[in-house]
Amino acid sequence: MDTSTVQFVYNYKDYAGKDCEAKLDITFPFEDESIGELVTQLLAQMDPMMRYLDEDINLQKELQLFIDREHQKFYDDYSEKLINQAANEELDLEAIVRNTERLYKEEMLQFADRIGPSDEDIFAQSFHRLVHSSSLEEILKRERGYAKVIADMTDHMDSEVETLKDSQQQEMDSQINQLDITTTSEDINNLLAQQYTTHNFVRKRYESELEAMMGHQKNEYRDWITSQVSQMFQVSPVSTPLGNRSSMFVSQQPSMEESFTIHLGSQLKHMHNIRILSANVTDLCSPLHVDENLNGLNMALGLYSSSLCGVVVLTPSIQAQANKSIIKNANRSTEFHFDQMDVQLEKIEKQIRALNTSDTSSTPSNGSGSGSGNSTEGSATSSPIKQHVARLKTGDFYITKHSNLSQSHVIFHLISDEPINSPSEINSRHPVILGLRNILKTASRHDITTLTIPALLRHEMSEDMTVPWCIRRAELVFKCAKGFMIESASWGGAELSTLQLLLPHDISEELFTTLAGMVPNVFRVANPKILVDSTK
Partner 1 sequence: MAAGATSLAKSETRRLCAITFFARLHPGDVCGSNGLPLTPNSIAILGRSQRLKELQHEHLCQYLDVVRGKHERTIVVSEYVGCTLEDYVKRHAQTPINHTHILRIFRQVVSGLDVLHAHKLVVHNLEPRHILVEGCDDSVHVKLFNYGMHHMTKGGAYVPFPIGNVRYMAPERLLGVNGNIKSDVWAWAMLLLEQLLQTELWPKLKLSTIAWKLLAFARNANVSVVEKIAREHQRLEQYQQLPLDVRDLLERCLSVLPAQRPLPADLLQHQCLAQLSQGPVLRPNALAEPLPLLLRCPLSQIYHLWQLAGGDVQAELKKEGLIRSEAPILALPQIVRLSGASVCPPRSQSYLMDERVVLLKLQPLLQRLSRLPATVYFPLLHMQRQQQQQQQLQQQQQELPLLIRERDIEYQFRRVRLFTRLLQGYPHTADQLQREAAIDIPPLLRGPIWAALLGVLPNASYTKIDKFTATSTDRQIEVDIPRCHQYDELLSSPDGHRKLKRLLKAWVTAHPQYVYWQGLDSLTAPFLYLNFNNEELAFLSLFRFIPKYLQWFFLKDNSAIIKEYLSKFSQLSAFHEPLLAQHLASINFIPELFAIPWFLTMFSHVFPLHKILHLWDKLMLGDSSYPLFIGVAILKQLKSTLLSSGFNECILLFSDLPDIVMESCVIESQKMYECTPKSITHRQHAPRIQTPHVLDIGAAEVELQHLQSELCPRISAKDVHQLLMHTPEQLALIDLRSVVEFGRVHVPHSINIPFATVQLGERRLEALQVPQLEAHLRQRIVVCVSNIHQHAVEFSQFLVTCGVLRTCILHKGFNVLHSIEPNILISN
Kindly state the smallest distance separating residue 193's Cβ from partner 1, in Å. 39
| Residue 120 or 166 with smaller CB distance to partner 1 | 120
Between residues 80 and 155, which has the closer beta carbon with respect to partner 1? 80
> What is the SS3 assignment for 223-267?
HHHHHHHHHHHHHCCCCCCCCCCCCCCCCCCCCCEEEEEEEECCC
**What is residue 172's three-state secondary structure?**
helix
Q: Which is nearer to partner 1, 199 or 479 (CB)?
A: 479
Report in angstroms how near the CB of residue 227 gets to partner 1 at its nearest: 20
DSSP of 29-97, one letter per residue?
Answer: S--S--HHHHHHHHHHHS-THHHHTTHHHHHHHHHHHHHHHHHHHHHHHHHHHHHHHHHTT-S-HHHHH
Asked if residue 29 has a cis previous peptide bond (ω within 30° of 0), the answer is yes
For residues 433 and 456, give the distance between their C-alpha atoms in angstroms, rounded to a whole number.
11
Q: Which residues, 6 or more positions from 353, have their beta carbon under 8 angstroms from its beta carbon?
A: 389, 390
Minimum distance from CB of 87 to partner 1 (Å)? Answer: 5
Q: Which residue number, 139 or 352, has a Cβ lying nearer to partner 1? A: 352
C-beta of residue 106 within 8 angstroms of C-beta of residue 286: no
Q: At closest approach, how far in Å is the CB of 79 from partner 1?
A: 4
Cβ at position 323, least distance to partner 1 in Å:
17
- Specify the residue, 97 or 212, whose C-beta has the smaller distance to partner 1: 97
Q: How far is the CB of 357 from partner 1 (least distance, A)?
A: 13
* Smallest gap from residue 465 Cβ to partner 1 (A): 25
- Minimum Å gap between C-beta 498 and partner 1 is 17
**Nearer to partner 1 (CB atom), residue 7 or residue 253:** 7
Q: Do residues 370 and 185 make contact, with C-beta atoms less than 8 angstroms apart?
A: no
Shortest approach of partner 1 to residue 454 CB, angstroms? 18
Burial class (CB in 10 A: 0-12, 13-18, 19+), 172: middle
In the bound state with partner 1, the residue whose beta carbon lies nearer, of 240 and 424, is 240
Minimum CB distance to partner 1, residue 503 (Å): 25
Residue 8: partners with Cβ closer than 8 Å, 6 or more residues away: 23, 24, 25, 26, 42, 63, 66, 67
Q: DSSP state, 179?
A: B
In the complex with partner 1, the residue whose CB is nearer, 454 or 504, is 454
∠ at Cα 500 (497, 501), nearest 5°? 145
Residue 21 CA from chain centroid, whole number: 63
Identity of the residue, 278 or 498, whose beta carbon is nearer to partner 1 in the bound complex: 498
Counting Cβ atoms within 10 Å, is residue 400 exposed (0-12), middle (13-18) or buried (19+)? buried
Question: Which whole-number Å values give the CA distances from 273 to 7, 491, 518, in the listed order?
Answer: 60, 19, 15
Which residues contact residue 90 at a Cβ distance below 8 angstroms, ignoring those fewer than 6 apart? Answer: none
Our measurement of the distance from residue 391's CA atom to the centroid of its chain's CA atoms, rounded to an integer in Å, reads 19
Residue with Cβ nearer partner 1 (257 or 335): 335
Nearer to partner 1, 192 or 242 (CB): 242
Q: Which C-beta is closer to partner 1: that of 278 or that of 444?
A: 444
- The answer to whether the CB of 68 falls within 8 A of the CB of 35 is no
Find the shortest distance in angstroms from Cβ 409 to partner 1.
Answer: 6
| Dist. CA 343–CA 349, nearest whole Å | 10
Chain Cα centroid distance, residue 30:
43
Going by their DSSP bridges, the two strands 270-278 and 498-503 should be labelled as parallel
Beta carbon of residue 204, minimum distance to partner 1 (angstroms, whole number) = 28
In the bound complex, what is the minimum distance in angstroms from residue 78's beta carbon to partner 1?
6
- Nearer Cβ to partner 1, position 60 or 135? 60
Element (H, E) at 21: strand 19-28
CB 56 within 8 A of CB 39: yes
